[in-house]
Amino acid sequence: MQCDYCESKATVFFTQIIDGQTKKSSLCEQCATEQGVTDPEGFLIGHLQPIPQKTAEVVNQPENPVKVSAPPVCPGCGFAFDDLKKTGRLGCSECYQFFREDIKHNLGGMHKGISHKGRVPKGMLEAYEKQQQIEKLHEQMTLAIQDENYEKAAALRDELRQLEQAATPDKQESPAQEA
């Protein structure tokens, strides 16, 4: 395949979706570097700077668009939360942390909560429920500490220790310890 700019062999390929219109581009390494499409290691940057003129011509956008504050984008891949709404997918693993609050807010409205409520394999239900209970107690303990309710936090810590010990039985059990 040939570069869209200089007709050399294309080595960088990407797709841009602007206002619902898809534009596929092919660039050689030199043109990609000149356009700011690759980083020093040669990986595609998610928040591609618009390739001047050619992209604008394709989607019929004015050369000097009115500046509008852009929505926040993931620092890892440049993915915007609006992209999630359109595609139903996130761009990279960093998106989960970056958009955490937005995801929680939207999942709460779509589902009965933000935790998994689906099926669990046979024989794993008890362990799964214990793990859920441990996570819930951790959250409660963190909130108690934030509220400076140290007595409640200590009680929750003790309960957590008991649950965690029950979940992971001692490997070295001896008759002397059972007294």
Q: Tell me which of 161 and 95 has the higher pLDDT.
A: 161
111 vs 5, higher pLDDT: 5
Q: CA dist 97 to 74, 102, 109, Å?
A: 9, 10, 19
Mean pLDDT of 172-179: 48
What per-residue confidence (pLDDT) applies to 86?
81
Q: How many domains does the chain have?
A: 3
* Residue 16 belongs to some domain of the structure: yes
The reply to whether 145 falls in a domain is yes
Q: HEC states along 45-67?
A: CCCCCCCCCHHHHHHCCCCCCCC
- Would you say residue 144 has pLDDT above 80? yes
Cα–Cα distance measured from residue 33 to residue 42, given in angstroms and rounded to the nearest whole number: 9
Task: State both tokens at 171.
Answer: 């490997």
Interatomic CA distance for residues 66 and 150, integer angstroms: 54
106 is in which domain, residue-wise?
81-110
Rounded to whole angstroms, the maximal C-alpha distance in the chain is 83
Looking at every residue in the chain, the average pLDDT score rounds to 73
Query: Is 151 part of a structural domain of the chain?
Result: yes
Least confident of 37-51, 63-77, 138-152, 154-168: 37-51
The pLDDT of residue 38 is 54
Provide mean pLDDT across the span 58-83: 69
Model pTM greater than 0.85? no
Report how far residue 79's alpha carbon sits from residue 129's, in angstroms, rounded to the nearest whole number. Answer: 35
